[in-house]
């Protein structure tokens, strides 16, 4: 039984040593100090997310992030927009949906995951109601 204990103690020592070596080699996981300072400066200066996507073609509501202590960010056609930028894509927030002016004068509600065709004047066709779901890679 003493041999088994000695082997167990040896394996434990090796696993602790290899874990410490791995932790040292990881370095900083997410951002460097310079990247973190730049992000904090952008947040503190009130810079807004990137330029809004073009409104001609199609419009896709990718979702919304509501912060408890900050502005709400909408994701439209893969771009992050604040509430003021939504007017550039002729949309208004309505809960988690976007309200668009429809071709027939009616309001079109675009829920997260839905997309719609938008003409040159910014008017939307009725929402397709289709949410495309792609299967992930098998593990």
pTM, whole model, 2 decimals? 0.49
Dump pLDDT digits (tens) for 22-36.
554 555 566 778 887
For 59-88, b where at least 16 C-beta lie within 10 A, e where not — what string? Answer: bbbeebeeeeeeeebbbbbebebeeebbee
Dump pLDDT digits (tens) for 61-119.
888 898 888 888 889 888 888 888 877 777 878 888 888 887 777 888 888 888 888 87
Would you state the pLDDT for residue 11?
75
Q: How far apart are the C-alpha atoms of 136 and 6, rounded to whole Å?
A: 45
């Amino acid at each position: 039984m003493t041999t088994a204990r000695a082997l167990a103690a040896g394996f434990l020592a090796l696993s602790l040593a290899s874990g410490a070596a791995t932790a040292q080699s990881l370095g900083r996981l997410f951002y460097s100090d310079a990247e973190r300072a730049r992000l904090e400066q952008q947040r503190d200066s009130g810079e807004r997310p990137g330029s809004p996507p073009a409104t001609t073609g199609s419009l896709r509501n990718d979702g919304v992030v509501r912060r408890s202590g900050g502005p709400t960010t909408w994701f439209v056609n893969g771009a992050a927009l604040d509430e003021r930028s939504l007017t550039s894509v002729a949309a208004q927030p309505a809960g988690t949906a976007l309200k668009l002016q429809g071709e027939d004068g009616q309001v079109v509600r675009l829920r997260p995951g839905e997309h719609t065709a938008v003409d040159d004047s910014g008017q939307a066709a009725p929402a397709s109601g289709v949410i495309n779901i792609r299967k992930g890679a098998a593990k």
